[in-house]
């Protein structure tokens, strides 16, 4: 999902996406620790997606307060 698609979502939907991404990031870290991770680049991608969602959530919260 790209940033433009995420900006169309409500805050509740973004919170759910963030929760799912954090769960996925945790699972990837566990796979990496046990040596079962197939695509190591997926850890970096998950981290970036989390940052993207948090940035959009912050933008939305600042936009409604201003």
Q: What is the pLDDT of residues 9-47, one digit of tens each?
A: 999 999 999 999 999 999 999 999 999 999 999 999 999
Under a CB-based contact definition with an 8 Å cutoff, are residues 16 and 51 in contact?
A: no
Range of the domain at 26: 11-65
CATH number at 55 reads: 1.10.287
pLDDT above 90 (res 51): yes
pLDDT (0 to 100) of residue 32: 94
* 43 part of a folded domain: yes
Overall domain count for the chain: 1
Residue 6 lies in a domain: no
Measured over the CA atoms of residue 43, residue 13, residue 51 and residue 54, the dihedral's sign is: negative
Does residue 35 lie in a domain region?
yes
Question: Could you tell me if residue 3 is inside a domain?
Answer: no
Q: Categorize the per-residue pLDDT at 1 as very low, low, confident or very high, splitting at 50, 70 and 90.
A: confident
Determine contact, residues 25/50, Cβ cutoff 8 Å: yes
pLDDT of amino acid 31: 96
| pLDDT computed for residue 66 by the predictor | 44
Q: Exposed, middle or buried, 62 (CB in 10 Å: 0-12/13-18/19+)?
A: exposed
């Amino acid at each position: 999902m790209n940033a433009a698609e995420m900006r169309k979502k409500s805050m509740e939907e973004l919170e759910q996406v963030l929760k799912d991404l954090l769960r996925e990031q945790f699972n990837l870290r566990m796979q990496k620790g046990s040596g079962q991770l197939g695509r190591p680049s997926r850890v970096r991608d998950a981290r970036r997606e989390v940052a993207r969602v948090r940035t959009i959530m912050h933008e939305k919260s600042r936009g409604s307060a201003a």
